[in-house]
Every structure is written in structure tokens, then in C-alpha cells.
């Protein structure tokens, strides 16, 4: 019986986890004949969350994993937690995205989707609880471990540039074998248009209501690379870059992965 997790999918919020979970659920559903009918609320019964006490709705936790009687089905847990030793005990994937896009996406999420922030984008970037300082702390926790055995690093940007190859790396990093055809089918199922239709139908398991007709309130928002430049003014860009400079290790990691924000003005 699959009573224990077999792999971890780790990321900071707004780094592509919903997209990858949706594709992964479709892949596992087809490979293991799990009955289909997964949407953006019940998918947590196959790939649950472990985001820390008080951070995960009760029905999304590993305790609600539905396939403990199926030892053939991988038990992947998704987590937004900072690096911890438990991750290194199993195959794990670190999904990471350009900080500019992460911060802008999270700004809209916290303001329009969850309603927990009411300030400006510039104020959000500097916010220690939700903004860039929190993101940098998360990345600092992972930076020493991105080369650890069993850890696979996949960027959101690579997934957008070469979806099949990069999704294949992610799936392989979770210890799951899949053919190119299976990967392609799963990614087609997780297209932006289809995910928006499913979100409109099922919601995303959020306890609070949000306005789906507001594009910036949706869980599936722009799903683009580099759109942060459309929303940040010059001063906010400068503030973001200066904050990143306070963490040389993170800057080095971002540059190595090819996702360091550049200084060009909007």
C-alpha cells in the first residue's frame, strides 16, 4: 500500500505548480486507469499539498490521499515549504520561476484572489510577509541543495519554451516513466484554455469566493513569461533588483538557471 510519499514537487507560490499538478494528475490518471473526472478541486486527492500548518485546506492534505490501496500509483506530494531534510530522502523536483513574474502573479493572487493585500505593486514587492523578501528567503533555503542527488531543477521558463522535454524531466525527477505521447497528451489536457474552463466549473478548492470574471483574480491568470515588465515601473524594477543583490547566492543561482530579471526599464 502507498502509505508514504514516493516523491516531492516543491516550489514557491505562483511558480507553475497548479499547471504541473493538473498535467501530472492527467498523466497518472491515464497511466493507472484511475477513473478520470479529475478537476481543479478533487485533483488534490491524487497530488495533495503539504504547505505547513494552517497553510493548506484540510481536504488538500496528504491525509486525504485517495489511492493508498494502489501501490502502483506514485504518491507525489506538492509543497511550498522551504527546503527541509525530508525532501532529500525521496526524489524531488524543485520548480522555480523568474522572481519578477512570481512577485507580480502573487500580488494579483493575494489582492484579487484571496483578498489579503490592498496596497500597490511596489508596496507588495517590499512586503516582508508576501513579497520579494519572503521569496528570497525561500530561494536561499534551496540554493545549497539544487545539486543534491535526487533533486531535479525545472524552470517555468523551460516548461514554456520546450514543454514536452521539460515536463519529461519533471516527471522523470519524480521517478515516473512516461512516453512522449503520454507527456504530450497530459500537457494538452493542461492547456491554459482548458484549465480556465475547469476552474470556471469546479473552482480551485478555495474556501473564499472570488470573481472569475476578473482576469487578475483567476488562479489561471496570464501564464506568460516576462509579463512582469508590463506591470512594473522603473522604480519598482530598481527596488526588486536591489533587493536581489542583497542575496549573492540567490543571484548566482538565478543567473545559472537563466531566470535572473534584467535591468531594462519597461
Higher pLDDT pick, 3 / 14: 14
Classify residue 261 by its DSSP letter.
P
Separation CA 266–CA 186 (nearest Å): 35
Separation CA 35–CA 32 (nearest Å): 9
Separation CA 125–CA 23 (nearest Å): 30
Higher pLDDT pick, 195 / 7: 7
Higher pLDDT pick, 112 / 76: 76
Contact 66, 34 (CB under 8 A): no
Q: What's this model's pTM, rounded to 2 decimal places?
A: 0.88
- If you average pLDDT over residues 5-16, what whole number do you get? 96
What is the extent of the structural domain holding 100? 7-257
Does the structure show a pLDDT above 50 at 18?
A: yes
Residue 264 belongs to a domain: no
Does the structure show a pLDDT above 60 at 210?
A: no
- For the stretch 57-84, what's the b/e string if a residue is b when 16 or more beta carbons lie within 10 angstroms of its beta carbon? eeebebeebebeeeeebbbbbbbbbbbe
Supply the pLDDT for residue 231. 86
Supply the pLDDT for residue 154. 98
In the chain, the number of structural domains is 1
Beta strands in the chain (DSSP E): 7-11, 76-79, 92-96, 151-155
Supply the pLDDT for residue 23. 95
CATH assignment at residue 227: 3.40.50.300
Q: Angle 18-20-26 (CA atoms, 0-180°, nearest 5)? A: 105
Residue 91 belongs to a domain: yes
Q: What percent of the chain has pLDDT over 70?
A: 86
Amino acid at each position: 500500500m502507498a502509505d508514504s510519499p514516493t516523491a516531492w514537487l516543491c516550489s514557491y507560490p505562483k511558480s507553475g505548480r497548479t499547471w504541473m499538478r493538473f498535467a501530472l494528475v492527467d498523466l497518472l490518471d491515464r497511466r493507472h486507469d484511475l477513473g478520470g473526472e479529475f478537476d481543479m478541486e478533487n485533483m488534490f486527492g491524487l497530488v495533495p499539498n503539504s504547505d505547513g500548518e494552517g497553510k493548506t485546506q484540510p481536504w488538500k492534505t496528504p491525509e486525504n490521499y485517495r489511492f493508498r490501496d494502489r501501490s502502483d500509483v506514485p504518491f507525489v506530494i506538492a509543497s511550498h515549504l522551504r527546503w527541509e531534510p525530508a525532501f532529500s530522502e525521496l526524489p524531488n523536483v524543485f520548480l522555480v520561476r523568474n522572481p519578477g513574474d512570481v512577485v507580480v502573479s502573487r500580488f494579483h493572487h493575494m489582492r484579487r484572489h484571496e483578498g489579503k493585500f490592498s496596497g500597490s505593486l511596489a508596496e507588495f514587492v517590499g512586503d516582508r510577509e508576501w513579497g520579494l523578501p519572503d521569496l528570497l528567503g525561500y530561494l536561499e533555503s534551496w540554493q545549497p541543495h539544487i545539486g543534491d542527488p535526487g533533486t531535479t531543477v525545472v524552470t517555468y521558463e523551460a516548461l514554456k519554451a520546450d514543454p514536452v522535454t521539460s515536463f519529461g524531466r519533471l516527471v522523470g525527477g519524480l521517478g515516473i516513466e512516461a512516453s512522449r505521447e503520454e507527456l504530450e497528451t497530459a500537457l494538452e489536457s493542461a492547456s491554459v484554455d482548458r484549465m480556465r474552463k475547469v476552474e470556471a466549473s469546479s473552482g480551485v478548492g478555495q474556501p473564499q469566493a472570488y470573481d472569475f470574471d476578473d482576469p487578475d483574480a483567476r488562479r489561471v491568470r496570464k501564464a506568460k513569461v516576462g509579463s512582469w515588465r508590463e506591470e512594473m515601473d522603473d522604480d519598482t524594477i530598481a527596488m526588486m533588483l536591489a533587493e536581489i543583490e542583497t542575496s549573492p547566492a540567490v543571484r548566482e543561482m538565478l543567473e545559472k538557471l537563466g531566470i535572473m530579471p534584467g535591468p531594462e526599464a519597461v
